[in-house]
């Protein structure tokens, strides 16, 4: 019995020692094995990419281009950014910036990214994938070209020239108001001064006749403040300048102006001196 007990005790001790060595080896392996982060796991599974800040990315062709890229990404069932970046031969940062930053990506990246998404879309049975990709190519190229032109700062002299053209049309009856309309007649008896700086345009309309000031909506004269002619002037100027964009276009009567910007400087408006009364 002593021999049997010794053998059994030895076998049990061997099993316990082996189990302890296995547990120790497993723990060292688990501790040294790299973990997959939650962000990496989510990116491998595919998810919507964040959009640019809407305040920084204002309306225009650039926003339409960004919306189209996100729409294609959604229709392609959110392919992995890692896989798309590898296919395009660009970094994941470049892809992320094209989708999520307000800066306009290069045309090559925008077109190739859109086509990569388009190639992953399951088109309907009646659709020709090649025709769909050609349509995507043309649309992205057109939006990029327009967005690129919108990003160019306008020439101040050209802006002033366009504003003057629209003003002349409105005062001569070639605009939204016929020649005998009270607004057209009041504007024809007024003068306009224009300041342009980068994307800021300020127009000051100087009206001397009190009835004209009332017609044009001068609050200082107690008139009912309706200034649709300002909106008409602004919209027509923006239309003629397109695709070049103007951020701020302010049109004011002299009595309504609190400050004006000319040559990049801000200062109070000083009306021109009235001529002396004849003796």
Encode the chain (279 residues) as per-residue pLDDT tens digits: 566 666 567 667 677 777 777 777 766 655 543 333 334 433 444 688 888 887 777 678 888 999 999 999 999 888 888 888 888 888 888 988 999 988 889 999 999 999 999 988 888 888 888 899 999 999 999 999 988 887 877 788 888 999 999 999 999 988 888 999 999 999 999 999 998 887 888 888 888 888 888 888 877 666 666 678 888 988 898 888 877 777 778 887 776 544 333 333 333 334 444 444 444
Instruction: Give the tens place of pLDDT for each residue, 25-57.
Output: 766 655 543 333 334 433 444 688 888 887 777
Backbone angles phi, psi at 220, to 5 degrees: -65, -20
For the domain spanning 156-267, the CATH number is 3.30.300
For position 21, what pLDDT does the model report?
A: 76
Distance CA 95, CA 80 (A): 11
Residues of the chain with CATH 3.30.300: 156-267
């Amino acid at each position: 019995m002593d021999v049997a007990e010794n053998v059994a005790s030895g076998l049990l001790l061997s099993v316990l020692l082996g189990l302890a060595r296995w547990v120790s080896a497993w723990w060292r392996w688990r501790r040294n094995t790299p973990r997959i982060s939650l962000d990496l796991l989510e990116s491998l599974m595919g998810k919507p990419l964040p959009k640019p800040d809407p305040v920084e990315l204002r309306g225009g062709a650039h926003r339409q281009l960004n919306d189209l890229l996100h729409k294609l990404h959604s229709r392609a069932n959110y392919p992995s950014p890692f896989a798309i970046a590898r296919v395009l031969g660009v970094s994941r940062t470049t892809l992320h910036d094209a989708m999520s930053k307000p800066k306009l990506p290069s045309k090559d990246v925008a077109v190739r990214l859109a086509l990569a998404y388009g190639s992953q879309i399951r088109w309907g049975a009646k659709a020709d994938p090649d025709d769909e990709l050609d349509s995507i190519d043309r649309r992205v190229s057109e939006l990029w070209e327009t967005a690129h032109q919108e990003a160019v700062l306008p020439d101040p002299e050209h802006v002033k020239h366009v504003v003057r053209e629209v003003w002349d049309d409105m005062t001569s009856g070639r605009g939204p108001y016929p020649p005998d309309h009270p607004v057209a007649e009041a504007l024809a008896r007024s003068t306009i001064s224009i300041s342009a700086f980068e994307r800021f345009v300020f127009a000051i309309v100087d009206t001397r006749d009190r009835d004209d000031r009332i017609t044009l909506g001068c609050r200082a004269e107690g008139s009912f403040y309706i200034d649709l002619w300002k909106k008409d002037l602004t919209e027509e100027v923006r239309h003629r300048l397109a695709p070049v964009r103007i951020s701020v276009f302010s049109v004011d009567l002299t009595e309504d102006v609190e400050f004006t910007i000319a040559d990049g400087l801000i200062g109070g408006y000083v009306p021109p001196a009235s001529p002396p009364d004849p003796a």
